[in-house]
Structure 1
């Protein structure tokens, strides 16, 4: 369905691919993106934009959980020197 031929209500107007790209870039800006994402998650102006913001919010949650798990289980990656030293011990 082409965006310019859409005749339905404004809240159901589809987003263009460039809009999705722009929102993705905006949401990845560290603090501003998080604030804009939260605002759009609860916005009622466009359902497609709200759902995209909610999907991006789910990505935020998954990344935070992954980081917490890596830190909790000792995400220390040994350096190359330590790895070579451990091979020499064997």
Structure 2
């Protein structure tokens, strides 16, 4: 799930997943962090979900995927679209 908070020149995008699906650590990787695993690791929230927030430039498009333990890559069904194997996000 994606949560967005629009600001003047940027959009704070929060990537949200259930606490245990998939199990273990999960990071979001994409064009905004040079596809670097571990750069944006989802952390537990009080509501039982886990999340990480990334500030992205306004009016831009980004490709991303999630990377879980065991080299398990997966997409976000709530993304703005999909380009091949990647999820697409528009701010």
TM-score, with length taken from structure 1:
0.21
- Greater share of strand: 2
Q: Which protein, 1 or 2, shows the higher relative CO under an 8 Å CA cutoff with sep ≥ 6?
A: 2
Bigger Rg over Cα = 1
TM-score, scaled to structure 2: 0.21
